[in-house]
Amino acid sequence: MKKIFWIVLVAIFLRLGLAMSTYHSDLGAFAQAGRAIVGEGKWFSFYDTMLTPQIDTVFNYQPLAYLIPSVFYLPFKGIVLETGNLIKNHDWIIANSSLFNPLLLLYKYPMILADLAFLWLLPKFFGKTKDKHLSMVLWAFNPLAIYVSSMMGQVDIVIALFITYALYLYKEDKLFISVIFLALSALIKPAGLILIPLLALHNFVTNKKITESLLLTLTGLGVYLLGVLPYLGSIAYRHYALFAEHLYCLRPRHPLFLHCLHPHSSFTLAKAVYVLSSCRDSLAFFPCFFPLSSTMASLGYALVGYLFY
């Protein structure tokens, strides 16, 4: 147990060091949204700030992608108000950064917490102590997880956490809470919506309960609709976040069309479905961990794809 403690401690310090010494421009969107939400109190109108001269980035994710980090920024309201617009400025970052910049850690720490939450969640999939410890060690030094949370500061790690927790809840027969977490993941990026009917279908095939399966689908979609409802009146939200990604996929000549063809989306969802079938009734290490870990790797791989698309 002491070895696990020290391994986890090293992993935490590794993430903190990388968070303060690396920068990716994606972080600027969360910083600027955090400034509008936390600093100016625009919880339901922050998308519209894109239409002002002060904002030079695009909020093209779903609402929880910006609201969840902003909740963690609340204790640092004054700092976020002063620096939220600066993080997007590459020149300012370079000019004002030493080897370690604590300000970068401030804007990345919600994602790092989501990353570290896997050290609590993954062992729940396994029965044997050695398997629990192995899952923690493998995740503690998962390079994709470290890259996404500590170097990029991307919310995809939160999506991965919600989906993994949803699969755990599904395995524990907490079906409706499971689809709620899938809906919450979709309120960050909508790919999780596809998993809701797939989960309901799997439940129908295994339990032959059509009413329950329909209710699962309606619950998940209902939570998603409730989440986007307060923002539907925003032209900026509808144009840049709600419909933009889907419209790009219908326009083959658009530069982002290639991103729609990227294989990670279907591959990740297929792996998630495989996890459902292989882990629902088993706590065995090999049937469960490798489908689960490859699902998480696929989510990380999706982020690496951003470097090319």
Kindly give the residue spans of alpha helices, DSSP state H, lying in 35-85: 64-73, 77-83
pLDDT in the model for residue 6: 92
The residue ranges of the chain whose pLDDT is under 70 are 89-99, 244-309
Q: What sign for the dihedral angle of Cα 302, 10, 105, 114? A: positive
Environment class of residue 3 by beta-carbon count within 10 Å: exposed (0-12), middle (13-18) or buried (19+)? exposed
pTM here is 0.81
Which amino acid, residue 149?
Answer: S
Reading the block at residue 228, the tokens are: 């986007």
Rounded to a whole number, what is the largest CA-CA distance in the chain? 62
pLDDT in the model for residue 97: 60
pLDDT in the model for residue 171: 92
Reading the block at residue 22, the tokens are: 């690396």
pLDDT in the model for residue 287: 45
Closest CA to 260 of 300, 299, 305: 305
Task: Please give the Cα distance from 220 to 72 (Å, whole number).
Answer: 25
Task: Please give the Cα distance from 192 to 190 (Å, whole number).
Answer: 5
Reading the block at residue 292, the tokens are: 């689960």
Reading the block at residue 188, the tokens are: 């960050």
Three-state secondary structure call for residue 95: helix
pLDDT in the model for residue 250: 47
Residue 8 CB neighbour total at 10 angstroms: 16
Determine the straight-line distance between the first and last CA of the chain, rounded to whole angstroms: 43
pLDDT in the model for residue 45: 93
Alpha-carbon separation of residue 152 from 44, 174, 188, 258, 292 (angstroms) = 26, 33, 16, 22, 22
